[in-house]
Amino acid sequence: MTLIAQKIRITGLVQGVGFRPFVYRIAVFNAITGWVANDNLGVIVHAEGRPTNLEAFIVDIKTQLPAAAHLRSVEITSAEFQNFTSFDIRKSDSYNDEVTEVSPDIAVCEDCLADMERQPHRLGYAFTNCTHCGPRFTIIKALPYDRFQTTMEPFALCETCDKEYKDVLNRRFHAQPVACNTCGPQYHIAGLEIGFEAIPVFISKLIDEGKIIALKGLGGYHLVCDATNEEAVKRLRHNKNREGKPMAVMMASMSKVEQHFEVNAIERKALESWQRPIVLLQNRTALAPSVSNRMNTTGIVFPYMPLHHQLFKHLKTPAIVLTSGNVSDEPVIIEDEQALQNLSSIADVIVTYNRKIHNRADDSVAMEAAGVMRIMRRSRGFAPSPITMNLPVEGIFAAGAELVNSFAIGKGTNAILSQHIGDLKNTETLAFYEEAYEHFSALFRFNARWVACDLHPDYLSTRFAQKMNLPLIGVQHHHAHIAACMAEHGLDEKVIGIALDGTGLGNDGTIWGGEFFVCDLMDFERKLYFDPVPLPGGDKATEEPWRTAVSYLYLYFGPDFPFHEQAFLKEIPPEKLNLLLQAIQLGINCPLSSGAGRLFDAVAALTGLCIHATFHAEAPMLLESAIETGCKSKYLFEIEDKRIVFMKLFYLIMKDLKNQVPVSVISAKFHNTILTIILKVVKRLSQDSGLKKVVLSGGSFQNCYLLSNSIIMLQEQGFEVFAHENVPTNDGGIALGQMAIAAKRIQKE
Ligand code: ZN
Ligand code: ZN
Ligand code: FE
């Protein structure tokens, strides 16, 4: 029987996920000799053996890969036969500037949890990991992925760990963060002499007693308290200066989750996935009321670090709040010094550990809509997995937007989105943005040649882009939204694009956000849009929805409308209202906005649900939470020229309010009206253009009712509907759209 040799080049997410040991094992199993190595393109294998064995070997590579690994391509070419007698794993080789993928962090696996109870050197060891699990992105400083290029570098392997690390048949073979009680990082409590063994018992007791704990996590500090203790949750909110925003909750048992929340098979799968996102679930019976405040959903996450599992062994409460360790809207804290300084006033105890976090990563957030899981915040567990594009994007830096910013760098045909950065309005977040860009440039050896950014000159991301002194490609905000969704689905053609969004600068200098486009990646036509309304006070209107409500009433019913008699304005001082009416009348600081978010704001204000917003998008979220789902009726609207006019909608809402129709019904009728608008406009645009593909994007599609029903309704009418899955529909996805548009324009040049 003749033996042959083959070179197998494997690309995808194949580093830091136990891929080489996996290849080794199946090589031995299939009687293959040769070697496997990491390089900057991915993994390369030189395989020798009988042709049938080689075939089986390749099938095994493709079908039995480790959970977190993901293959992009497997290329097989014949190679020179060298008569290898064994199969070896070769050292990493760094030879060119093409860089492969960096694994996101992976939740601790079952085997490691078991090892914490049976391996003498890992008894109760809270940093147990293996090639299938553990920290990755958050500790990686450079590629190739080797221990000395991570923040594990100061921890020299003990003899036992070293043996495991070098034993090809061991699960920890070449697991870069491998460690044990003798040699690895440990938790400690600031200012207290408590051995690491006692920490889980100690802090679970404190949590059950209603205390607040600051706990160093994988991608940053968390603040933790009993989610069933209203006093504790209230105190945490107060201390953190976070009055309104819902907080995520960690639970460890699916049956307990099912007691408190509605959870379907898709949500269950996401909760248990190795990425461990926070999954938004419908409330059934409340935990402490202050956890999700007035929202009808709660974000639930399963334990993903060994210590989380240890805590739930001792905790009496089934649920703990797990919110980011920061003050208000600043980035989550990763430095131990800063944690001591800033979190001491919030938490009763600070639990830390002596390994550095290199890349900050918040918990990711996902939501199920129309049968598909959809990322709302893309960070731990997802970043920096690339999105494969249809176009070359090498050298393109996409700066992103302003709110919930995330940027993207282009490598080959991969767009690599940064982790969730946050709102670039405070200096701390901007510093995080700049630091993350430096980290990404170093990690992926990225050299920017073009810069894509938003048209808004005041976005700090735009200013950062301008300072790079490279060819600048300005991209309209909502065109970027639609393009992001197109890129995600590999679309490069004319589509009907619907961007329902908060704010974004339009080509005409006004604020856009209720947009119906016919567009492709090159350009767009603004076919129809929500009737623009003056926003008294500009940005202030987004924080005070009552202003926008007054403005709509003024727009449609004029200055003689009895503003002072409106129930929703009873807490607004009359002088303040008069000033606002004057400003509207004179057009002082009243930029025009067609933003869908503002329309939702106005209706939330009119119904008394939200007069003042305590956080971004609170009003639309409360309006959605109020929906009477059984109600199928709706209000009326008109289309005048290109404008979708809401005069009848507001007239009928006012009438319903007068007749004391419940807010839940008004909210349902309002949402159903928006759905009707979408259907009517799509039908019209499809008739005119012959297009059948509809792309949905923009922050308003975080609204689950709106998104699910839009998809189902349009599909029923024979349209092919594309909505976001792997990148956020909010401004966190903008960078991907900017990159797609820039790539297209560069290609056409
Ligand atoms: Zn493991
Ligand atoms: Zn060790
Ligand atoms: Fe937006």
pLDDT at 525 over 60: yes
User: 702-735 burial string, b = 16+ CB within 10 Å, else e?
Assistant: bbbbbbbbbbebbeeeebebbbbebbbbbbbbbb
- Residue 173: the pLDDT is 84
- Residue 95: the pLDDT is 46
CA of 699 to the centre of ligand 3 (A): 6
| Closest by CA position to 403, among listed 537, 303, 504 | 504
- CA angle (735 as vertex; 368, 216 as ends), nearest 5: 65
Q: Looking at residues 598-620, what average pLDDT do you find?
A: 96
Q: Looking at residues 580-586, what average pLDDT do you find?
A: 96
Q: Give the tokens for residue 306.
A: 């060994």
CA of 504 to the centre of ligand 3 (A): 6
pLDDT at 491 over 50: yes
- Residue 227: the pLDDT is 98
Q: Of 27-31, 260-264, 450-454, which gets the smallest average pLDDT? A: 27-31
CA of 503 to the centre of ligand 3 (A): 6
**pLDDT tens column, 624-654:** 999 999 999 999 999 999 999 999 999 999 9
CA of 575 to the centre of ligand 2 (A): 70
| Closest by CA position to 451, among listed 459, 500, 421, 443 | 459
pLDDT at 109 over 70: yes
Task: Give the number of the ligand closest to the Cα of residue 164.
Answer: 2
Separation between Cα atoms, residue 284 and residue 262, nearest integer Å: 6
Task: Give the number of the ligand closest to the Cα of residue 180.
Answer: 2
Domain with CATH 3.90.870.40 in the chain: 187-353
At residue 723 the predicted structure's pLDDT band, cuts being 50, 70 and 90, is very high
Residue type, 189: I
Separation between Cα atoms, residue 505 and residue 456, nearest integer Å: 6
- Residue 82: the pLDDT is 95
Domain with CATH 3.30.420.40 in the chain: 529-693+702-722
Which CA distances in Å does 332 have to 4, 221, 322?
54, 6, 12
Q: Give the tokens for residue 261.
A: 């929340």
* Residues 6 or more apart whose Cβ sits within 8 Å of residue 66: 17, 18, 19, 22, 131, 132
Task: Give the number of the ligand closest to the Cα of residue 274.
Answer: 1
- Residue 96: the pLDDT is 46
Q: Looking at residues 92-121, what average pLDDT do you find?
A: 82
Q: Within 13 Å, how many C-alpha atoms sit on residue 320's CB side?
A: 31
CA of 618 to the centre of ligand 2 (A): 48
CA of 178 to the centre of ligand 1 (A): 10
pLDDT at 21 over 90: no
Q: Are strands 349-353 and 396-398 parallel, antiparallel or unpaired?
A: unpaired
pLDDT at 622 over 60: yes
Q: Looking at residues 458-463, what average pLDDT do you find?
A: 95
Task: Give the number of the ligand closest to the Cα of residue 159.
Answer: 2
Q: Looking at residues 429-443, what average pLDDT do you find?
A: 96
**pLDDT tens column, 230-271:** 999 999 999 988 778 899 999 999 999 999 999 999 999 999
Domain with CATH 3.30.70.100 in the chain: 4-89
* Residues 6 or more apart whose Cβ sits within 8 Å of residue 458: none
Domain spanning 187-353: which CATH class is it, in words?
alpha beta
pLDDT at 97 over 50: no
CA of 115 to the centre of ligand 1 (A): 9
CA of 172 to the centre of ligand 1 (A): 8
**pLDDT tens column, 321-331:** 999 998 877 89
Contact status, residue 195 vs residue 202, Cβ threshold 8 Å: no
Q: Looking at residues 656-685, what average pLDDT do you find?
A: 98
- Residue 93: the pLDDT is 59
Q: Looking at residues 301-317, what average pLDDT do you find?
A: 98
Task: Give the number of the ligand closest to the Cα of residue 129.
Answer: 1
Separation between Cα atoms, residue 623 and residue 549, nearest integer Å: 14
Quick one: which H or E segment has residue 6? Answer: strand 4-13
Q: Of 20-34, 573-587, 660-674, which gets the smallest average pLDDT? A: 20-34
Task: Give the number of the ligand closest to the Cα of residue 402.
Answer: 3
Residue type, 209: E
Could you say which DSSP state residue 383 is in? Answer: T
- Residue 125: the pLDDT is 97
Superfamily of domain 529-693+702-722: ATPase, nucleotide binding domain (3.30.420.40)
Contact status, residue 303 vs residue 250, Cβ threshold 8 Å: yes
Task: Give the number of the ligand closest to the Cα of residue 108.
Answer: 1
25 vs 713: which has the higher pLDDT = 713
CA of 182 to the centre of ligand 3 (A): 50
pLDDT at 213 over 70: yes
**pLDDT tens column, 49-72:** 999 999 999 999 999 888 778 898
Separation between Cα atoms, residue 621 and residue 393, nearest integer Å: 36
Separation between Cα atoms, residue 215 and residue 228, nearest integer Å: 19
User: What is the rounded average pLDDT for all residues in the chain?
Assistant: 94
Count of C-beta atoms within a 10 Å radius of residue 148: 10
Separation between Cα atoms, residue 117 and residue 110, nearest integer Å: 11
| Closest by CA position to 26, among listed 166, 168, 197 | 168
Contact status, residue 246 vs residue 291, Cβ threshold 8 Å: yes
CA of 309 to the centre of ligand 2 (A): 21
Domain 4-89 CATH (choose: 3.30.465.10, 3.20.20.10, 3.40.50.2300, 3.30.70.100): 3.30.70.100
At residue 368 the predicted structure's pLDDT band, cuts being 50, 70 and 90, is very high
| Phi, psi (degrees; rounded to nearest 5) at 385 | -60, 130
Task: Give the number of the ligand closest to the Cα of residue 183.
Answer: 2
pTM of the model: 0.94
Q: Give the tokens for residue 536.
A: 């008294």
**pLDDT tens column, 339-361:** 999 999 999 999 999 999 999 99
CA of 179 to the centre of ligand 2 (A): 5
Which CA distances in Å does 33 have to 42, 174, 204?
20, 19, 51
| Phi, psi (degrees; rounded to nearest 5) at 186 | -140, 155
